[in-house]
Amino acid sequence: MIRHALTMMVGTLASRVLGLAREIFTAALFGASGLLDAFNVAFTLANLARQLLAEGALSASFVPVFSRVLAAKGKEAAARLARQTLFVLLLATSAVVAAGMVLSPWLVAIMAPGFDMAKAGLAVAMTRFMFPFLLFVSLAALAMGVLNSMGSFFIPALAPALSNVVYIIIIVLFSSKYGAWGLVAAVLAGGAAQFLLQWLWSAHLGVPLVPDQPDRGDPDLRVMLRLFLPYAAGLSLNQVNPVISRMFASFLQEGAISVLNYANRVIQLPLGLFVIAVSQAVLPQLARCPLDMKEEFRDLMRDALRFALFVVLPVTAVMVLLSSEIVHLLFFRGAFNRWAWEGTAYSLAMYSLGLPGMACSTVVMRGLYARSMPRAALYVTLSSVIGTALFSFLLMKPLSYGGLALGTSLAFTASGLYGIHLLSRSLGTTL
């Protein structure tokens, strides 16, 4: 597990560093402006699918089933499952894209009720153009699940790095002429590049991802789909958290959504590098662990939690104490002015307090998926959503956008502890 996690961390490090570079370029060009607020709302709507599919329900439902089929029936049976899943995924995602483009005005109204008419109109137009991004990241998620299950972790972790390189090139070339629309084009091109790299590598490993009409009687496909629906329901609830933060932030001063977004991007570096890398590396091993081997499962979970916390706790201290210096070093140039610097640093410190809770929550959710406990995963997610709404409501007035970041941190901490309790009870032992 540690070897696979370290492999993913190398690829993820490249991806997250380039992702941070992407935000540095964006900050220098656009600062914390109303234009960028509109783009961030549009991108949040499109990006929900990446978090739901690439890091959520598809990985949680497909990887365990694919791993078991690969181990028990061989590569050909596993490849057939992947091709059938691709067919279903293409149909479902295309329907979501079409619906999203039609419903964009209502989605933006829900996401940012505090926007004026001009800013809301811009966000709607951008949302419609960016919804095809969902198709690319969904396909990339499937390819990532196939590769991880086959023991290939580096390329899936590196694929987002390619996406970020493409993004940076496009915004540098086109944003001066096309403004925020250059960002929209960069998002679409980056998503396509991310899928293409993994599609080519999966074909190289002998599992070409070409859609195949599903066999309704295939028991493996039926199990995967049966797991997907409850996980999708639970994880879609989890994606309400950023929506809640942006809903509240839309009532604050112009640029509030942008400073929260910059701070969140910075916090994603340690979160993605250490926590998500560990959780994705351990999921196939947990999935292959028989349900009656509780001690082995417990030991894997303990190792994953300890490793994540061992790294995250000192990182938390550094990011809280040096948030101002970190933001100044990364972003303070071009259109990114002093207010944006101070607001982003304040938000970063509040987000950083939740890193240990985010680590526990992410790793434990993978454990719940591996043990096929969708109801427990749903409860953990629901507790996070309720906590985010409650804490954000209570803290926004006294602490402004910093209160929204702190509310998210407190909610993840509470849900992480709750998840540990539920998984420990299932195993009959303390994690």
- Please answer whether residues 136 and 109 qualify as being in contact, where contact means their C-beta atoms are separated by less than 8 angstroms: no
Place of tokens 């993913």: 8
Question: For the purposes of burial, counting CB atoms within 10 Å of the CB of 212, is it exposed (0-12), middle (13-18) or buried (19 or more)?
Answer: middle
What is the model's pLDDT at position 40?
85
Helix (H) or strand (E) holding 308: helix 294-321
What is the DSSP secondary-structure string of 38-77?
HHHHHHHHHHHHIIIIITTHHHHHHHHHHHHHHHHH-HHH
What is the model's pLDDT at position 395?
95
What is the model's pLDDT at position 51?
63
Length of the chain measured in residues:
431
Rg (CA), the chain: 21
What is the model's pLDDT at position 55?
53
Q: What is the residue range of 43's domain? A: 2-427
What is the model's pLDDT at position 234?
59
What is the model's pLDDT at position 200?
93
- Work out the end-to-end distance of the chain between its first and last CA atoms, rounded to an integer number of angstroms: 17
Residue 144's nearest CA partner among 227, 58, 85, 72 is: 58
What is the model's pLDDT at position 126?
93
What is the model's pLDDT at position 367?
83
Sequential pLDDT tens for the chain (431 residues): 556 556 666 766 777 788 888 888 888 888 877 788 888 888 887 777 666 655 556 666 787 788 888 888 888 888 898 899 889 888 888 888 898 899 999 989 988 888 888 889 999 999 999 988 888 888 888 888 888 888 887 888 788 889 999 999 999 888 878 888 889 999 999 999 999 999 999 888 888 888 888 888 888 888 888 777 666 665 665 567 777 888 898 888 888 888 998 898 898 888 777 776 666 666 667 767 766 777 878 888 888 888 888 888 999 999 999 999 999 999 998 888 899 999 999 999 999 999 999 888 888 888 887 787 878 888 888 899 899 999 999 999 999 999 999 999 999 999 999 999 998 888 877 77
| Contacting residues for 394 by C-beta, under 8 A, at least 6 apart | 403, 407
Tokens of 106: 């209502």
Cα angle for residues 131, 222, 365 (degrees, 5° grid): 65
Q: Residue 149's Cα: distance from chain center in Å?
A: 19
Cα angle for residues 206, 208, 211 (degrees, 5° grid): 150
Q: How many domains does the chain have?
A: 1
- Please answer whether residues 244 and 389 qualify as being in contact, where contact means their C-beta atoms are separated by less than 8 angstroms: yes
Cα dist. 8→317, 377, 425 in Å? 24, 24, 30
Residue 66's nearest CA partner among 85, 92, 90 is: 85
Helix, strand, coil tally for the chain in percent (to 5): 85, 0, 15
Cα dist. 351→36, 65, 242, 261, 364 in Å? 21, 35, 12, 11, 20
26-63 burial: b if 16+ Cβ within 10 Å, else e: bbebbbbbbbbbbbbbbbbbbbbbbbbbbbbbbbbbbb
Place of tokens 């309400």: 240
- Please answer whether residues 59 and 50 qualify as being in contact, where contact means their C-beta atoms are separated by less than 8 angstroms: no
Tokens of 245: 């933060």
